[in-house]
Amino acid sequence: MGSVLVNTPMDVVKTVMQGLDAKKYGNFANCFLHIVKTEGIMGLYKGTVARASRVVADVAITFFLYDIIHELLNSTWPEKHWE
């Protein structure tokens, strides 16, 4: 969750700069300031809930698959240590 909160503002600015109105912004700082001035600091956190949900699902799947693959490798080659 911490990584989502830290990275979301940069991701929002990047997404805005890649949009159809990208020519309005000269650089990252200009776009950042425009978002803060027009939408407030919370404008930098648009999509946080959706992004956090995706990250939580990604991490859960990764941990789940790690355990399955770890058990599969240990049952296939018990003399190996996969840790």
pTM of this prediction? 0.69
Determine the pLDDT at residue 80.
Answer: 64
> Is it the case that residue 82 has pLDDT exceeding 80?
no
For 47: left if phi > 0, alpha if psi spans -120 to 50, otherwise beta; the answer is left
Determine the pLDDT at residue 33.
Answer: 96
pLDDT digits (tens, 9 = 90+) for 42-55: 999 999 999 999 99
Determine the pLDDT at residue 76.
Answer: 82
pLDDT digits (tens, 9 = 90+) for 59-79: 999 999 998 998 888 888 777
